[in-house]
Chains A and B, each alone.
Chain A
Amino acid sequence: MAFIELDNVSKVFGQAEYATVALKQVTIRMDKGEFVSIMGPSGSGKSTLLNIMGCMDIPSEGEYRLNGTLIQKLNDRELSQIRNKTVSFVFQNFALMHNFSVYENVALPLFKRKMSLKEKKEKVDYYLHKLGIADLSDKNVSKLSGGQKQRVAIARAMTAEAELILADEPTGALDQKNGAQLMELLCQMNEEGKSIVVITHDEKIAGYTKRIINIVDGVITEDRKKER
């Protein structure tokens, strides 16, 4: 059983003559520990695919199974639980809560975990140290540079200790140096056993991954595995 199974998944936005098909019968299988990049031009359906993989959206047709669980059958609470425990996200815009501190942002996935405040603090501090941003803990995230913000977003993803990391154009708002550092971090997380899906249109970024899926107009045009 694959970790991620998308069978003939389609996604349509709008209705009747206003309907826009974002994905057309997409089938993907991904095992645990894979490092995959999804490439394609703007509007090709990459982000829609990522939203479905991350349980932020559900397919219009087809089936999506994550770790054997049929996602369409889940309610809001169960989907939230998956987003909290199984999947973590890294976005191009960092998706941080402005006007909140670095600590508050990184601790976010622990919101509903049954842990004492002390345990939560220890965990957050551990990942802040690991990413070298412990000294920024009390700083407001809106005061950070792009590179620092993305580290906070990575720290948050790590704190969740989820098996699957979904990164949507993670280096899009970073300079080359910070982008490379971020990809190194993702590689390191993959080596530690995490499954990672990166959406990008940058060949260089895709070069860090072990499998590249190309998507054009909502259809998978290429799916190739390679050695780094």
Chain B
Amino acid sequence: MEHLSIAISSMWKRKLSVFLMMTQLVLSFWVMNHAFISMDVVHYQEKKLFAVMQMDKDTTLRLSFADVDDTEWFAERFSHLENFIKQTPGVQRYGSFDTTSITPENLPNQRAFLEQNKKQYAGTRLENAIENSKIVFLDKGIYSYAKFKIINGRPLGEADFTKKDGDVIPVLIGYNYRDVINLGDRFETIIHEKKIVYEVVGVLEQRSEWLSGNDYIADPVDNLDNFFLAPFFPIVRESEPMDVAVRMHNTFIQLDSAEMFNQVSAAILEKGRELGINPTLATVGDELQAYRENRKQVSNFSLFMGMFFLVISIIGIVSVTLSSIHARKHELGVRMVAGATKRDISMIILMELVWIVTVSAVSGVMLNYVTEAFEDSSVANIKLEMFAFPLYGKVMLVSILVILSSVFIPLLRIKKLQLRELVGGRD
């Protein structure tokens, strides 16, 4: 403690150089932290993907189209291709999902439902649309991939995915609606000018999650606490070309085995070309790799910049510390004459560096948190979630490396100090 208090008092006496040194370090830690987060976001997304859906990197494929066209012509051909895929040998499951909005009406407790949405949407861009709720429609093929847990009522069953237009559609509700909508409650929505009746059959576990409807890899998963979840039925799945078009981003195929990839892929691509709609097929593993490569460029650049700044900062710290030792030769000599050992002097210098680096690292991380919090991107919330122990561990490791590399040369300098040269004579 004594060493630390001497170090702090000594730094206070040369506060300007300490402040400038710390400014450089804070910026370095800020950039470095940003790089760590960019890298972590990729791992986080990957982990989430497999947490919400039982997919396999090599046997789960995603079907997509280079030029999606929301015309009758395209929709018709896509339907042909879907039927072909379902019958292709080697395809175990096939399915799509779509995330959209509905406006539930005539709920037994409509006011409580609106109040709940008002509470949940406060401060978001949905706060003026409290009558709407998000809903995920899925095929049976894709529902069976999901890892949903039902805390009340029942999950969706085989028969729920065979509903026709005009049937009552079973729906699962998000956890936040558990107190305002009861099992068995019915509500209505209007889709393509037709009245649809839904009946609540189950409540999803709190913090249930599902893939984003926009980009299942790059965008964060949706928290379903304020969502509905229902099986596709004809009117929402394929009554309009647009309904077909939106599904094309989120259509998955599960193969029997990885060895079937070439055979299945060749057959589907051949059929697509025959139909004139040119599909592409990629395994989830390949898509993740492409995403990783894409993010890697950004994070590698940040990492390089962070390391570059840190090296510059280390050089700055070493030179400031060396000149400080030179300028403080007299003070250090007086301390040694009064009984301080070279080890004590080294401890004082070490404490100064520990203090400077620690405060700079904490400030850099805090600064980064503030800038990430104000960032307007789809992964902003994920980035904020990254501020946890694994990140702090990395920052701590970098801090230790900075301290060790900064302190080495100054300590050698202290070792060479000769007491008889430090004091005595005239000032």
Contact residue among A47, A95, A100 (Cβ-Cβ distance under 8 Å from B337): A95
How far, in whole Å, are A100 and B37 apart by their CA atoms in the complex?
44
**Residue contacts A-B, CB under 8 angstroms, 30 given:** A54-B337, A56-B337, A57-B419, A76-B343, A77-B343, A80-B336, A80-B344, A83-B339, A89-B423, A91-B423, A92-B425, A93-B424, A93-B425, A93-B426, A94-B427, A95-B333, A95-B334, A95-B424, A97-B334, A99-B13, A100-B13, A100-B331, A108-B334, A108-B335, A111-B2, A111-B338, A111-B340, A111-B344, A112-B2, A168-B424
Say if the beta carbon of B330 comes within 8 Å of chain A: yes
Minimum CB–CB distance from A30 to chain B (whole Å) comes to 20
Known contacts A47-B424, A76-B342, A93-B426; decide if A83 and B330 are in contact (CB<8 Å): no
How far, in whole Å, are A211 and B13 apart by their CA atoms in the complex?
44
Say if the beta carbon of A173 comes within 8 Å of chain B: yes
Say if the beta carbon of A20 comes within 8 Å of chain B: no
B419 and A56 contact, CB distance less than 8 A: yes
Q: Which residues on A sit within 8 Å (CB–CB) of B420?
A: 51, 56-57
Q: Which residues on A sit within 8 Å (CB–CB) of B344?
A: 80, 111-112
Number of residues in A with C-beta < 8 Å to the partner? 33
Contact residue among B6, B330, B335, B336 (Cβ-Cβ distance under 8 Å from A98): B330
Say if the beta carbon of B87 comes within 8 Å of chain A: no
Say if the beta carbon of A194 comes within 8 Å of chain B: no
Residue of B nearest to A105 (CB): B334
Minimum CB–CB distance from A58 to chain B (whole Å) comes to 10
Contact residue among A96, A112, A172 (Cβ-Cβ distance under 8 Å from B340): A112
Residue of B nearest to A13 (CB): B420
B336-374 Cβ-contact flags toward A at 8 Å (1 or 0): 111111111000000000000000000000000000000
Q: Which of B6, B335, B423 has the most CB of A within 10 A?
A: B423
Q: Which residues on A sit within 8 Å (CB–CB) of B334?
A: 95-97, 108
Q: Which of B13, B336, B339, B420 has the most CB of A within 10 A?
A: B339
B residues within 8 Å of A by Cβ? 2, 6, 9, 13, 330-331, 333-344, 419-420, 423-427
Q: Which residues on A sit within 8 Å (CB–CB) of B426?
A: 92-93, 172-173
Q: Which residues on A sit within 8 Å (CB–CB) of B6?
A: 111
Minimum CB–CB distance from A107 to chain B (whole Å) comes to 10
B424 and A98 contact, CB distance less than 8 A: no
Q: Which residues on A sit within 8 Å (CB–CB) of B423?
A: 56, 89, 91, 93, 95
A residues within 8 Å of B by Cβ? 47, 51, 54, 56-57, 76-77, 80-81, 83-85, 89, 91-100, 104, 108-109, 111-112, 156, 160, 168, 172-173
Known contacts A47-B424, A56-B419, A57-B420; decide if A84 and B339 are in contact (CB<8 Å): yes
B424 and A80 contact, CB distance less than 8 A: no
A111 and B339 contact, CB distance less than 8 A: yes
Q: Which of B337, B419, B425 has the most CB of A within 10 A?
A: B337
B340 and A80 contact, CB distance less than 8 A: yes
B424 and A112 contact, CB distance less than 8 A: no
Q: Which residues on B sit within 8 Å (CB–CB) of A56?
A: 337, 419-420, 423
How far, in whole Å, are A104 and B5 apart by their CA atoms in the complex?
12
B338 and A109 contact, CB distance less than 8 A: yes
Q: Which residues on A sit within 8 Å (CB–CB) of B341?
A: 76-77, 80
A85 and B342 contact, CB distance less than 8 A: no
How far, in whole Å, are A128 and B98 apart by their CA atoms in the complex?
83
Residue of B nearest to A88 (CB): B338
How far, in whole Å, are A49 and B3 apart by their CA atoms in the complex?
32
How far, in whole Å, are A154 and B334 apart by their CA atoms in the complex?
14
Known contacts A76-B342, A173-B426; decide if A83 and B331 are in contact (CB<8 Å): no
Residue of B nearest to A77 (CB): B341
Q: Which residues on A sit within 8 Å (CB–CB) of B419?
A: 56-57
